[in-house]
Amino acid sequence: MTDGISPSLALIADFEEAAEAAREAEEICRREAAMRIAALAEVRSTAFRRLNLVRSAAKAIAEAEEPESAVLLARFVIAQMLGWEEASARQEDVLDRLTPFLTALAAEASRTASPATEPAEKALRCFEDWYRAETGSDFYALFERYIPETPRVDF
């Protein structure tokens, strides 16, 4: 009778091994999926932050009463978006580095862009690269706002 148990134990051991391998494969897949989802979420949030920046700058440029003040108004709007009420020297440097993009955007909006004018998208990418090299982080991370949860109390 022990001979009959031995094949059963071997079968159970095989199934245990297969079940463990399946569990490990699932865990690996879940970790990889979570990493991929996090990477896609980061790309998405950066894309929407970039869109909101460009939209706000373009709106400010379009609403400027004088073409000469359009870039200054766009700088002001962006500083407000970032919560920079009174910009520090470092923040002013960031805004100064962003100004070529705003100038190119204003030129494109007024259709006065000359062949020597850098296209707005190229200027923005150049700024983003500078910021990443300078700080080691993504410029659009500045737009993250932590909002603590507030308890909901019913009276």
pLDDT along the chain (155 residues), means of 10: 69 94 97 96 95 96 90 95 91 96 90 69 96 95 81 70
pLDDT score of 153: 72
State the DSSP string of 12-31: HHHHHHHHHHHHHHHHHHHH
Taking the C-alpha atoms of residue 121 and residue 126, their distance in angstroms, rounded to an integer, is 9
- pTM of the prediction? 0.77
Domain boundaries, the chain: 2-143
CB of 57 closer than 8 Å to CB of 82? no
| Residue entry with tokens 């379009």 | 62
Angle at alpha carbon of residue 96, lines to 93 and 98, rounded to 5°: 115
